[in-house]
Amino acid sequence: MKIGKIGERALINEIAALVAKTADKQVIGIGDDAALTPVSADCWLATSKDMLIEGIHFLLPEITAKDLGYKSLAVNLSDLAAMGAKPRHAYVALALPPETEHEFVLAFYQGMLELAERFNVTICGGDLVASPGPMVISVTVQGEVPKTCALLRRGASAGDIVCTTGPLGASAAGLLLLTHKIQCSQAVRTAALQAHYRPWPRVEEAMWLAQTGMVTSAIDLSDGLLKDILEVLEQNKCGVLLEAEKIPIHPAAVKVAASLAKPAWELALNGGEDYELLCTVKAAHFAELARAYEARFAQPLYALGRLTAEREIRMITKEGKWEKIEFTGFKHF
């Protein structure tokens, strides 16, 4: 069967089953944002690897070389954040059409270095090859996290509060601005494109959350809230009840959605590429954690619902209307 038909989830499950046969039992591998391997007595080495393809994950020349370098590292650091890990090293493999300008390649690295410097990440190596087709970027990042602190997708249970580190939908709004003719203010355009091209990985927030010991599971929001939360629900065998009016929607997403006569929550729920952290916290701890988080980061930890024993995704609106919802987020195949 063609992979386009079998789908990403089923294919990953088949690969995971094959690979599990020979896996080192000490490794936490496929099924999280990064793999955790034991390299020292106290710390996990967290490793993540994302591949970006021209025409699928980015469009040239719409995105500048600098933004592309920045974003290629940012999406990988976001995976480390989802594990609570401190980033350490990055490795970059590029497949480049031979007609690529060498200034483009240097600007790509400059954009990446801007972010690398911010988080003390060393770019240690990689590979440069010729591409007969699209540009391909593969970044591998390594970080470390104390064994007592690592965040995983599993560990949550019904009753836990679901929360996120920031408002959603702005990156999807940015993508809509690139692909549709939309009238909006310069401020909205700037905010949406910034979110799309320069997502800020929640590394510091995640490390802080991890060391509180109060977070029961975590994932980064890359494919869209609904698709990503499904991963958490599957691993923890539970469902979720989202409160529509509590879902933080980015003001730029509200404006762009309005001008397309779309409901703004569609961008927040299915848009993707938010690179906020989604995590769960025991209900008894949430108020204390949210207070401390806000004191530390001067921004709220947004509660947007709670996990349920019923294995469904449901949303309750302000008017008290309940809806069972389906995700329409990014599909890899």
Binding mask 23-42 for a second copy (x = CB under 8 A): xx--x-xx-x-xx-x-xx--
Nearer to a second copy, 30 or 290 (CB): 30
Minimum distance, C-beta of residue 190 to a second copy, in the bound complex (Å): 28
Strand arrangement of the beta sheet that strand 215-220 belongs to: 215-220, 277-281, 161-164, 302-308, 239-243, 313-316, 322-324
The pair of structure tokens assigned to 106 is 């240097």
How many C-beta atoms lie closer than 10 Å to residue 1's C-beta? 8
- Pick the piece of the chain touching a second copy (CB under 8 A) from 93-101, 235-243, 248-256, 297-305: 93-101
Q: Return the exposure string of 137-150: e unless at least 16 CB atoms fall within 10 Å of the residue's CB, then b.
A: bbbbbbbbbeeebb
- CA 31 from chain centre, in angstroms, equals 14
Q: What are phi and psi of 33, to 5 degrees?
A: -70, -30
**Site track 51-90 with a second copy (rule: CB under 8 A), x = hit:** xxx-xxx------------------------------xx-
Verify binding: residue 320, a second copy, rule CB under 8 A. Answer: no
223 lies in the site for a second copy, by CB under 8 A:
no
Nearer to a second copy, 262 or 332 (CB): 332
CB of 32 to a second copy, least distance (A): 8
**Residue (5 or 181) nearer to a second copy, CB:** 5
Residues 95-124 that bind a second copy (CB under 8 A): 95-96, 98-103, 105-106, 109-110, 113, 116-117, 120, 122-124
Binding track over 135-174 against a second copy, x by CB under 8 A:
-x-x-x-x-x------------------------------
For a second copy, the closer CB: 141 or 257 = 141
Give the shortest CB-209-to-a second copy separation in angstroms. 22
Among 125, 187, 262, 317, binds a second copy (CB under 8 A): 125
Task: Describe the crossing of helices 283-297 and 203-212 by its angle, rounded to 10 degrees.
Answer: 140
Whichever of 67 and 160 has its CB closer to a second copy, that residue is 67
Query: Which phi and psi (to 5°) does residue 135 adopt?
Result: -70, 140
| Residue 319 backbone dihedrals phi, psi, to 5 degrees | -80, 5
Which stretch in 17-25, 225-233, 237-245, 295-303 sits in contact with a second copy by CB under 8 A? 17-25
**Which is nearest to 158 in space by CA: 243, 278, 238, 241?**
238
Determine the 3-state secondary structure of 91 from DSSP: strand
In the complex with a second copy, the residue whose CB is nearer, 297 or 330, is 330
Cα 331 to Cα 329: distance, rounded to the nearest angstrom: 6
Dihedral, 266, 267, 273, 278 alpha carbons, nearest 10: -60
Tokens of 275: 């690179």
* SS3 assignment, position 263: coil
